[in-house]
Amino acid sequence: MANHPSTAVFEPNGLRSEEALSRIQARSRYYFKLSEFAQLTGRDSGTAAYLAVNRLSRQGRVVTATRRPAGYLIVPPEHQHYGAPPVTWWIDDCLRFIEPHYYVALLSAARHWGSSHYARQDVQIMLSRPHP
């Protein structure tokens, strides 16, 4: 078996895209902003970072969570058939920047802690201000 050089693209001043995702996920985080990804990979936070995340999205490794500010979810292989990781894994990281005064509604919390066995499979979030 011959030694072939890796076909992965290495960034001169930062991590490869997959390594950046691994670094974020190693901290038990699944939500990240485009600016954070750009900083880890050494890309500018404009077009280059967007194109790299778009490529990861086509591969099913990330999905768009928020449009403004641009935020994405890392999709672990075991959750790819669902399309995203469980909401309890990432909702705090996401809303901490967008709406710091949020809380999970009572029915969703009861379902999470096992009080309602046949509850709907959705999560209700209460915000301090109305959103369109």
Report the C-alpha gap between 100 and 129 in whole angstroms: 11
For residue 10 the two structure tokens come to: 């290495």
Q: Is the pLDDT of residue 29 over 70?
A: yes
> pTM to 2 decimals?
0.74
Percent of the chain with pLDDT over 90: 46
Provide mean pLDDT across the span 19-45.
92
Domain definitions of the chain by residue range: 17-98, 100-132
pLDDT at res. 108: 61
DSSP 102: -
Average pLDDT, the chain: 81
Q: Is the pLDDT of residue 11 over 50?
A: no
DSSP 84: S
Provide mean pLDDT across the span 7-32.
81
Report the C-alpha gap between 27 and 44 in whole angstroms: 23
pLDDT at res. 131: 61
Identify the CATH class of 17-98. Answer: mainly alpha
Nearest-5° Cα angle at 93, 131 to 127: 25
Higher pLDDT, 82 or 101: 82
Q: Which amino acid is residue 92, in one-letter code?
A: D
pLDDT at res. 132: 61
Q: What is the pLDDT of residues 84-103, one digit of tens each?
A: 998 889 988 998 878 888 87
Higher pLDDT, 79 or 120: 79
Cα dist from 32 to 2, 20, 81, whole Å: 38, 10, 21
Report the C-alpha gap between 44 and 92 in whole angstroms: 26
pLDDT at res. 9: 46
